Amino acid sequence: MAEFKTANIRNTIFLGHSHSGKTMLSEMLLHVGGAIANPGSVQGKNTVSDYNEDEKERQASINSSVMHVVHKDTKINIIDTPGFSDFLGQIQGGIRAVDSCILVVNASAGVQVGTESMIKLIHKEGLPCMVFINRMDKEDADFNKSVESIKAKIREGVAVAGYPVGKASSLSGVVNLLTKEGMDKLSGDDKSAASKMSDDLIETIAESDDALLEKYLDKGELSKDEALNAFRKGIASGKIVPLFSGSATKNIGIKEFLDAMVSFLPSPADKGATEAINVSNGEPIKVEPKEAGPLVAQVFKTISDPYVGQINVVRVFRGALKSNATVYNVTKQAKEKLSPLGTLQGREQKPQDIAYAGDIISVVKLKDTETNDTLGDEKTPIKLDDINFSDPAISFSIKPKSRSDEDKIMTALHKITAEDKTFKCIRDAQTKELIASGMGEFHINVMLKRMQHRYGVSVDMGTPKVAYKETISGKGDAHYRHKKQSGGAGQFAEVWLRIEPLPRGTGFEFVDDVVGGAIPTQFVASCEKGIRVEMEYGVLAGFTMVDIRAIVYDGKTHPVDSKDIAFQIASRHGFKDAVLKAKPVILEPIMHVDISIPDEYMGDITGSLNSRRGRVLGMEPGEGVQTIKAQIPLEEMYKYVNELKSLTAGRGTYTMQFSHDEIVPSNISQIIIDKAKKAKEEAAK
């Protein structure tokens, strides 16, 4: 494949509610751009993006999928993503690799729950965005309603750039409101509406640049070149969010949208520098997207193919990645020999000898490399920040169905978990159970069925366990002396430490505040290791501890008996003592739940939510339907679907996604602690 320099690359991710048409939009863009001869369909189970068997079976995306199309000498890398909130990790990985996003909205439904979540994510990440209002060929499509719902949620900078010609079965094209090309195809109210939207678009463009606004207010118009240049800059800066429209299945508005992607989406060069750390000196550094200079690249996705093996998908941030070269894994501090590179087209890898800064490329059969690893140059090692994947919210115990499954399960799980960082499997040290954790029951079921299909390993699922965490609500100070003299080499370590809470979601922070060499540097590292181990096991009920700063500030050593294990033991005991003084609490996952019900069931449902410790945040009225927005502990949601069906005669539905962790009320906390202690005692028998 031809080489593409940084300025001629576009990287974008498709986001939106499930069944908004993201996969079909990407399919038709590939077809119109000449990347594939014939477009597939979701119903036909032959799209480039949804190539896994479970995606074909469900006719919905479960994985993110990387594709590319070359249009006007520009390579557009597209990442298609699932619309289900259970597969948020697929989106989080993809966002690290792109410079913009496409929000796909179903014209029949407007902004849905999943769309709202994606808008929040777009704002959080500061991603330049274009919107495609899809499925304008459907009988119940409502362009104006969709536009208004998008404006209500995004709020600033939204302007229509592509107006539909006709609607439903009469949909025949789109009008370019920037150039007014195709305006003659409209008449009556449509022409008046499009003309006003065109004026609004020019006004939005002018408002994105102070100098341009002054000229616009003075002269009342902008030249074509001024408008186009400001439009592109406004999108890149996030000041303008243009709305386009069409139908992916009918191939209407797709060529125009593909042209807009090349002309207006930012290139990697427009995005600017990426924050990183110079490993040599620990100093922060900005990585500029330049084709020359030492390599800096990051693995944002891993694919476990039963035939090809492990495929790492890499974004190049600086320099160039070359086929068959030797690179340095900065994260693992290991050299890796590259095989021939490939540019992905769904499942297929097309050969590409070199990938310059900004490009997305695939590499197979690397020994030590996985998602989040930074690849670079050994002489100038630069490490990019890790991608922040969401923590799992729900857990199930799993058991192999047969002895043969037992022999294969760990290998299969390793391959499956490499693909999705929000799906985790651990062996519980206390109960000896194998615990599978994910973003929801649907997520875990999909991953375990995938393991069965690909690797022939079947499991039984047990009672779900909530992913509780432990933390502290106050400060604690402790010191511990570990001394062992029972024949042979002795052990001695004395550690003084204090702990304090960190803001929710921060994780763990270790501070070395030792002065005068009271604890040698290598044993300070041992203290951190010991504290991290103790945090994994928890203090109250055996749950992982989070959001704590631990400060080791003094200690004592013995010239002969002090060693790594002694300081690990001393710091573990000291940390535990400090936690017990620091008002320890248990955290539980709180879910954001949107419940759609007919009006007549409002009283029953709000009463049900109150009984489940739910908090109603608000309500959105619809035609005969109310959507209740609430926050409910995950523990209370396991069998809620059955209760909801019972209360609403099967007419109620809900969607759920993780919101945040919250302190468990003391009375419930004690029940959790007692239950954990009982389970531990039974396991010890």
The full set of domain ranges for the chain reads 8-271, 274-384, 394-467, 471-582, 586-667
Query: Assign residue 101 a region: left if phi > 0, alpha if psi is -120 to 50, beta otherwise?
Result: beta
Percentage of residues of the chain with pLDDT beyond 70: 97
Contact, 300 vs 387, CB < 8 A? Answer: yes
CATH class of the domain defined by 586-667:
alpha beta
Taking residues 101-127, what's their average pLDDT? 90
Residue 1 — very low, low, confident or very high, per pLDDT cuts 50/70/90? Answer: low
Contact, 588 vs 662, CB < 8 A? Answer: yes
Q: Which residues pair with 101 in a beta bridge?
A: 13, 129
Report the C-alpha gap between 672 and 541 in whole angstroms: 7
Residue 332 — very low, low, confident or very high, per pLDDT cuts 50/70/90? Answer: very high
Checking if the pLDDT of 266 tops 90, the result is yes
Residue 141 — very low, low, confident or very high, per pLDDT cuts 50/70/90? Answer: very high
> Which pLDDT score is estimated for 428?
75
Taking residues 591-615, what's their average pLDDT? 89
Report the C-alpha gap between 521 and 109 in whole angstroms: 60
Checking if the pLDDT of 640 tops 70, the result is yes
> Which pLDDT score is estimated for 405?
85
> Which pLDDT score is estimated for 431?
63
Residues 6+ away with beta carbon under 8 Å from 474: 501, 581, 582, 583
Contact, 207 vs 201, CB < 8 A? Answer: no
Sign of CA dihedral 639, 640, 641, 647: positive
| Count of Cβ atoms closer than 10 Å to residue 500 Cβ | 17
**Topology, domain 8-271:** Rossmann fold (3.40.50)
Q: What is the pLDDT of residues 195-249, one digit of tens each?
A: 999 999 999 999 998 888 888 888 878 888 999 999 999 999 999 999 999 999 9
> Which pLDDT score is estimated for 505?
86
Question: Nearest-CA neighbor of 252 among 574, 60, 28?
Answer: 28
Contact, 250 vs 137, CB < 8 A? Answer: yes
> Which pLDDT score is estimated for 650?
66
Q: What is the pLDDT of residues 284-301, one digit of tens each?
A: 999 999 999 999 999 999
Contact, 622 vs 629, CB < 8 A? Answer: no
Q: Amino acid identity of 383?
A: K
Cα 558–Cα 559–Cα 564 angle in degrees, nearest 5:
70
Report the C-alpha gap between 510 and 157 in whole angstroms: 43
Residue 515 — very low, low, confident or very high, per pLDDT cuts 50/70/90? Answer: very high
> Which pLDDT score is estimated for 587?
95
What superfamily in CATH does domain 274-384 come from?
Translation factors (2.40.30.10)
Q: What is the pLDDT of residues 491-506, one digit of tens each?
A: 999 999 999 999 998 8
Q: What is the pLDDT of residues 580-591, one digit of tens each?
A: 999 999 999 899
Taking residues 439-445, what's their average pLDDT? 85
Comparing 678 with 645, the larger pLDDT belongs to: 678
Q: Amino acid identity of 433?
A: E
| Count of Cβ atoms closer than 10 Å to residue 511 Cβ | 14
**Least confident piece of the model among 253-267, 561-575, 614-628:** 614-628
Query: Does the 471-582 domain belong in CATH 3.40.50.1370?
Result: no
In which residue are the tokens 């195709």 written?
182
Residues 6+ away with beta carbon under 8 Å from 568: 526, 527, 529, 530, 533
> Which pLDDT score is estimated for 430?
53
> Which pLDDT score is estimated for 624?
65
Q: Which residues pair with 160 in a beta bridge?
A: 243
Contact, 315 vs 300, CB < 8 A? Answer: yes
Q: What is the pLDDT of residues 62-112, one digit of tens each?
A: 999 999 999 999 999 999 999 987 898 999 999 999 999 999 999 999 988
DSSP letter assigned to residue 518: S
Checking if the pLDDT of 645 tops 80, the result is no
Sign of CA dihedral 556, 561, 564, 565: negative
What superfamily in CATH does domain 394-467 come from?
Elongation Factor G (Translational Gtpase), domain 3 (3.30.70.870)
Comparing 319 with 638, the larger pLDDT belongs to: 319
Checking if the pLDDT of 632 tops 70, the result is yes
**Least confident piece of the model among 33-42, 321-330, 647-656:** 647-656
586-667 and 8-271 share a CATH fold: no
Structure tokens at 279: 């490993």
